[in-house]
Amino acid sequence: MEHLVQTVMEAAARCSCGRHEPVVMKPIVVEAGALQKIAPYLKAEGYRDIVLVADSQTFEAAGRAVAEQLEAAGIRCRNVLVRPDEQGDVVADERSIVQVMLDVSPESTDLLIAAGSGTLHDIVRFVAYHMNKPFLSVPTAPSVDGFTSKGAPVIVRGRKVTVPASAPVAIFADLTVLASAPQPMVAAGFGDMLGKYTSLFDWSFSARIAGEPYCPAAAELTAGALQACVEHADAIAQRTEEGIRTLMNALIQSGLAMLIFGQSHPASGAEHHLSHYWEMEYLRLGRKQLLHGAKVGVACAEISGLYHRIVRDNPFAAALQRNADELGNGDGGKLAAIGEQWEAIRKLAADIPPPERLRELLRKVGGPADPAQLGVDARLLDASLREAHLLRDRYTMLKAYHELAARP
C-alpha cells in the first residue's frame, strides 16, 4: 500500500502552501495476512527486543498471533496488557501510561508495537515519544483516523489534553482482523470520517475569517478519503473486504493529510469540540466512555443542522449593523470579513449534507445517529452547543457564532 504515501506526497508536491512535512512512514500494509509480514520487517530493520502493548481483547484479536510469530523468528517479545479502569474502559490516562513505561527498558527495548485501536495507540505513541523509541502500528479495528498521528489525546487529572507524541514507523493492518472487529467500531470509523464534512468547512472558514493556516493538498486528500467512504457505505456496512479496505485506507489517508500539514485542522472542527465536551462530562460523572467516532458522527449531524440554520438566517448580518466598536478591533475585523465572504461561506456550507442525510448514513453502517442513542440528553447537548467552542482556540463557525452573532 505504498500508493497511499505516494498519493499524499504527489498531492503535497502540487501544493504551494509551503507547510508540508515529510512522510517517512513505510511500509503501510493494508491487506489480508498483513500480520505475517511483521516479523520479516522487524528482522530486516534490525529490531530484536520488542514490547507489544494490547488489552485483553486486542491481544486475542491480533497481539497473540504477532507475539508468537516474533518469538518463532527469534525476536524477543514482551507483552503488556493495559488494564481497564473502574468502568471497564481502557483509557489513555496516567495509570495506563505509567504501566506501559515501566515495562519498556531504556537500554534494551528496540521498538514498541501498538496492537489495538485508537486508545492503545495514544498510550503507545506517548510512551514512544518520551522514551525515544520507535513504534509500529497494528490496528485491530478501522475505528479512528489517528493511527498516523504525532499527537496523543491523553487524560490528565480528569481532563483531556493533546500532547506531542510519535507517529508510527510502519503500519500493518490485516483486513481479516479488521473485518472481525465489532460492528460498533467499524461504524465509529465511518463516523470519524463523516465528521470531515464539517471539519473541512470549519477549516476553510477559519482560513478566510481568522487567517488560520490552510493547505489545499491536505484538504484535497481529506475530501477524497471522505468521498470514498460515502461511496462505499453499503460495502462498509456489510463489512466486505472491499468495504473494510476502503474505510481503513480512508482513515490512514486522512491521518497522513494531518501529518503532512502538521496540525489536525483537516479532520477536526466543531464536531470534535462537541465530542470532547461530551467526553469530559462523562469523565466528570464517572460514566463509561463512548467510542470516539460514534460521538464525532453524531456531533457532525448536530453541527450540520446548526450551520445550515446559521446560513439560512445569517445572524452575522444583524451583528454587522451594531457598532463595531462594541466588538473590539479583532472581532470587528472578523465580522467585516464574514460580511465580505458571506456568499463564499454560503456556497461552502452547501457542501455539508443536511443532518437527515448524515443520520441516514450513520444508521446504514449500524452506528448511533442521534445524541439520545449515545446517552447524551438534551441538557448536555444544549450545553455543548453553547460552550464547546471554548475548549480550543481553533476558529470555527461555531466559535464565530457565539463570539460575534449570538450576543444579546
For the chain, state the CA radius of gyration.
21
* Cβ(291)–Cβ(143) below 8 Å: yes
Q: Which three cell numbers stand for residue 261?
A: 500539514
Question: Largest Cα–Cα distance in the chain?
Answer: 74
Cα–Cα distance for residue pair 189/168, rounded to 1 Å: 19
CA 373 to chain CA mean position, Å: 21
Q: Which three cell numbers stand for residue 8?
A: 499524499
Domains of the chain: 32-181 (3.40.50.1970), 189-213+263-405 (1.20.1090.10)
* Cβ(80)–Cβ(96) below 8 Å: no
Per-residue pLDDT of the chain (408 residues; tens, 9 = 90+): 567 777 877 877 787 787 777 776 679 999 999 999 999 999 999 999 999 999 999 999 999 999 999 999 999 999 999 999 988 999 999 999 999 999 999 999 999 999 999 999 999 999 999 999 999 999 999 999 999 999 999 999 888 888 999 999 999 999 999 999 999 999 999 999 999 999 999 999 999 999 999 999 999 999 999 999 999 999 999 999 999 999 999 999 999 999 888 888 999 999 999 999 999 999 889 899 899 999 999 999 999 999 999 999 999 998 888 755 555 556 778 999 999 999 999 999 999 999 999 999 999 999 999 999 999 999 999 999 999 999 988 999 999 999 998 765
Q: Is 224 exposed, middle or buried (0-12, 13-18, 19+ CB in 10 A)?
A: middle
Prior bond of 266 cis (ω within 30°): no
DSSP 269: S
Q: Is 81 left (phi over 0), alpha (psi -120 to 50) or beta?
A: beta
